[in-house]
Amino acid sequence: MLDIRRISSSRWWHKKKIWIYFAIFLFLVFVRISKGSLYKDFFYFISKPFWPGQFQKEVILKTLNQESLIKLNLLKKDNIRLREILSLQKSSNNDNIVAAVISRKTGGWWRQILLNKGSKDGVEIGSTVTGPGGLLGIVSNTSLLTSSVTLLTAPESKLGVWVDRSQINGLLVGSGGNHPSLIMYSKDADIKVGDFVSSSPASSLLPPNIPIGIVISIDETLQSNKTAKISLLAKPHLIDWVQILKVNI
C-alpha cells in the first residue's frame, strides 16, 4: 500500500512539473511577442519612488536659457520659404511632453534611456527627444507607460545635421562612444574645430535648428570625405528630465 501511494504521489508531482514548465513557456512566449513591454511597465511602477524630484526639474529648466538663445540665433538664419516649399516638419512648444528618465543604458552598444511616458501619453515611435543643451535622440520603442530612446551616440543612430558657420549639411553617425562622428560629403568641406552643429533644415526626420554639439576634432586622412568628432551639448548620463517633441507633418 505504501508503494502505491508513493507511485501515485510521484505521478502527481511529475504532472505538476509539466504544468509549471508549460506556464513558464507561455510566459516567455508572451514576453517575446510583447517585446518586453510588460517588463518595462512593471519597471515603471517599482522605480516610481526614485524618480527625480521637482527641485531637480526646476534647476534643469533654468539651464534651457542658453539653448533658447542658440535656437533664436539659428531661427533668424533659417530659410522659412525653403521649409514651406519642402513641407518639412514643424513642432510647437505647446505640444511638448515632459518626461523623467527612469533608467539609462549609456555604456557600450546599449545607448538608450527609458522614460516614464508612453503611448497613453501620446508618445510615438520616431518622436524627437531633447534635454538641457539640445538633441538627445529618437524614440525607438513604446509601451503603454514608458518609451525607449535611442541616443545620438548609439551605433545605429544616423541623422542629417547642419554646420551653422559654413551653412553645409553632414551626416551624424553614432559610434558607441561618447562622441559621435560627423561625416561630410566632400573632402573640401569647410569645417573647423569649434563649429556649431544643429539639426538640418532639410531633415525629414526631425524639426530643424535643434542644437546638437560642437566640433572638437577633425580627421582629414580619408581620401573620399572629411570626418569630425562632435561633443554633444546634451549629456544623457547627467539628464533626469527631457522633452518629447510632438511633431506635426
CA proximity to 97, closest of 117, 77, 67, 119: 117
Determine the pLDDT at residue 61.
Answer: 63
Pseudo-torsion of CA 117, 245, 214, 61, nearest 10°?
Answer: -70
Query: What's the pLDDT tens digit per position in 221-235?
Result: 776 788 999 999 998
pLDDT band for 213, please (50, 70, 90 cuts): very high
**Beta strand 110-115 with 97-107: parallel, antiparallel or unpaired?**
antiparallel
Burial bucket for residue 134 (CB in 10 Å: 0-12, 13-18, 19+): buried
Q: Which letter does DSSP use for residue 50 in this model?
A: G
Residue closest to 130 by CA, chosen among 209, 41, 230: 209
The predicted structure's pLDDT at residue 81: 44
* Listed residue (154, 159, 158) closest to 176, CA to CA: 154
Residue 167, C-beta contacts closer than 8 angstroms, at least 6 positions apart: none
C-alpha cell at 13: 508531482
CATH class of domain segment(s) 52-249: mainly beta
Mean pLDDT of the chain: 77
* Inter-axis angle of helices 37-47 and 2-34, nearest 10: 90
pLDDT digit string, tens, across residues 15-30: 566 777 767 767 666 6
Contact (CB, 8 A) for 208 and 201: yes
Cell of 63: 539651464
The H-assigned helical ranges of the chain are: 2-34, 37-47, 54-62, 64-77, 80-86
Of the candidate ranges 70-79, 117-126, 177-186, 230-239, the one whose mean pLDDT is the lowest: 70-79
Sheet strands (E) in 78-233? 90-91, 97-107, 110-115, 128-131, 134-142, 147-151, 158-163, 168-173, 181-184, 196-199, 211-219, 226-232
Among candidate residues 127, 112, 123, the one with its CA nearest the CA of residue 205: 127
**Distance (Å, whole) CA 42 – CA 61:** 29
What digits encode the pLDDT tens for the residues 97-151?
A: 999 999 887 666 668 999 999 999 999 999 999 988 899 999 999 999 999 999 9
Q: Of 6-15, 40-49, 138-147, 149-158, where does mean pLDDT reach its minimum?
A: 6-15
Q: CA of 186: how far to CAs of 23, 179, 192, 218, 231, in Å?
A: 58, 21, 14, 13, 21
Grouping H, G, I as helix, E, B as strand and the rest as coil, residue 35 is: coil
